[in-house]
Every structure is written in C-alpha cells, then in structure tokens.
Structure 1
C-alpha cells in the first residue's frame, strides 16, 4: 500500500513539475512567500475605466449595506476598503502629472496662436 502511494506521489510530482497552468503569480523580487499578479490594460483610458468601475461597485455595495440590517457590516466594510485601496494603487499618478504638463502646454500654444492672429 505504501509503495502504491509513493508511486502516485511521484506521478503527481512529475505532473506538477511539468505544469504550464501556473501563470498568474510570479515571484516578487526573489522574496520568499511574496508574489505579484499582473493586470493588463489597453491604455490609460482603459485603466481609468477599470478604476471607475471598481469605485462604482464599492459605492453600490456601501449603499446596499446601509439598507440591510446585516451583522456582517464591519467585515463587508473592510473588504470594500481593501478593494478601494486596490483602486487607489491602480491610479496612474505620475502619468497624471504628465497630463497636467500637456494641458499647460496646450494653453500656452493656444495663447500664442491667439496672439499671432
């Protein structure tokens, strides 16, 4: 019986070693027990829309919590807070500064164009 279990474990270990399905998590800077998961977006607009959707879902959940007399409100509120933190982490803050700079340049160019007319 023990030999059969060991053989089954060896077969399982062999399958696990060759597995190609473990693609979501990647080791995080060679730190033990830390992994990253990548998200893919087609651009900044897509990223912003995803963040907006996350915030909208959280708002809806908070309104639903207000209407229910559920005892699990604290756990739900903490979950919503965690999801909102993810949304904050996804916000492209450095890129926003670039957009501000582009806007200022746009205003300067429009001003110069108006002066030349």
Structure 2
C-alpha cells in the first residue's frame, strides 16, 4: 500500500486535526504529559547509568553490604524495583491522560469548535 494514505481532505463529517492540535485543551494535555514524563525519564536514565559508572570508576559499590553481597548487587536489584515502580506510576497516570483525551473527543462529537 502507498505511503500517502495519511493525507486526507477535511470534509463535512471529518475532523480538522490541525485545529484540535492547536486547541488549548490539547495543548494542556501535552504540557501535563510532558511535566510527568520528562522528569521520570531523566531520573530513570540517571539511575540506570549510575550503576555502570559507579562500578567502573569508583570503589563505592564494591564494599560488602550484607555478608558477601556488595552494594553493586543491591543497586542492580534496586533498578528492577525502580523500573516496576515507574511502570506502575505511569500506568496509573496514563488513566488521567486518557480521561483528558476522552473529554476532547467528547467535545468533538458534541459539535465542539474543532470542526
């Protein structure tokens, strides 16, 4: 199939998505998502890179924490916990994103100003 199928003309019963994207409601949704996703992504990236950097260039994580288990092993295990926690947080937050997008779609279906 051709790659030009995404270009559509805006007719009577079709939505003008350019106007939707420019709407205040949609821009608010994007700002809210950005305020949540960017800090969490930065935290994840820093936490993820800390293990190889600290184990390669310092001796901090090489000291025993519990018996013969070093801090490096605990830090690595903490990365699994961090990943699951961030996934759960995002899944819960995504519900509010979905609710906001549903409200935008409802406004469209009721003859809102985006047509």
TM-score tier, shorter chain, comes to 0.3 to 0.5
Structure 2 length-normalised TM: 0.36
Larger-Rg structure = 1
Structure 1 length-normalised TM: 0.36
* Higher RCO, Cα 8 Å, sep 6+: 2
